[in-house]
Amino acid sequence: MSIDNERRVISVIVMNESSVLARVTSLFAARGYNISSLTVAPIPNSEMSHITIETQGSSRVMEQITKQLHKLIPVYKVIEHEEMVEKEMVLVKFPIAENLSDISALCSAYNGGIVNVGTEMVIAMVADEPSRVKHFIEATERYNPIEVVRGGVVAIER
């Protein structure tokens, strides 16, 4: 058995029908599996949606998760990502008094920029690998962020 409690990203392709997301999430809850992040959106030109779940567990737990997901009637496909491109978006609100050019430079280092400027605050957006998003958030600490909203991971198999 490989390393326990490894971080994993799974994509679940489901039929767009009522309460399908509830079926997926309650399966995790009922079996005591953890969800660290969850994103859902319809797949263009189809009757399916793509759910990306970031979770952790041993390989035995992961095997159960995928098998149990498969058992749900509206689940079409479960992809346990190995070779993937994953991205996460994050929005951060800063006080206008902070050094905007520093913030702007920081954002461009992480594939983003300032997306909104108001009278009291500015809003920056970054989309990058989840681990880099984490670093970005750490780096923003010194500019006194007022609010941070992460979007959750989306992934696609390479």
Partner 1 sequence: MQMSGAQMVCEAIIAEGVKTVFGYPGGAIMHVYDEIYKQNGFEHILTRHEQAAVHAADGYARATGEVGVAMVTSGPGFTNAVTGLATAYMDSIPMVVISGQVPLSLIGTDGFQEIDAVGISRPCTKHNFLVRNLEELPRIIKEAFYLARSGRPGPVLVDVPKDITVDIGEFVYPTEVNIPTYKPTYKGNKRQIEKAAEAIKKSKKPLLYVGGGAVLSDAYILVRELAEKTQIPVVETLMARGVMGAGNPLLLGMLGMHGNYSSNMAMSETDLVISLGARFDDRVTGKLSEFAKYADVIHVDIDPANIAKLVDVDYPIVGDVKQVLEDLIPLLEDVNTDRYQAWREILKRYDELHPQSFVDSDTEIKPQWVIERIGELVGEQAIITSDVGQHQMWAAQHYPFDRPRQWINSGGLGTMGFGFPAAIGAKVAVPEKTVINITGDGSILMNMQELVTAAEYKTPVINIILNNQFLGMVRQWQSFFYEKRFSETDLTFQPNFKMLAEACGGIGYDVTTKEEFDAALKDAIEKDQVCFMNVAISRFENVLPMVPAGGALFNMMLPQKSEDDKGEK
* Inter-helix orientation angle 20-30/59-71, to 10°: 140
78 touches partner 1 (CB under 8 A): no
Output the six-digit token pair for 64: 């159960």
How many whole angstroms separate alpha carbon 32 and alpha carbon 23?
14
**Binding region for partner 1 (CB under 8 A) out of 73-81, 100-108, 109-117, 133-141:** 73-81
Q: Which stretch binds partner 1 (CB under 8 A): 22-30, 82-90, 109-117, 144-152?
A: 22-30
Q: Is 64 in the site for partner 1 (CB under 8 A)?
A: yes
C-beta of 71 vs 158, nearer to partner 1: 71
Out of 63, 102, 147, 157, the only residue in the binding site for partner 1 (CB under 8 A) is: 63
Give, as one character, the DSSP assignment of residue 78. Answer: E
User: Quick check: 26 and 77 in contact, CB under 8 A?
Assistant: no
Dihedral sign for Cα atoms in the order 129, 132, 134, 137: negative
Q: Segment near partner 1 (CB under 8 A), from 35-43, 68-76, 122-130, 148-156?
A: 68-76
Q: Which is nearer to partner 1, 68 or 111 (CB)?
A: 68
Q: Are 99 and 152 in contact (CB under 8 A)?
A: no
Check residue 152 for interaction with partner 1 (CB under 8 A). Answer: no
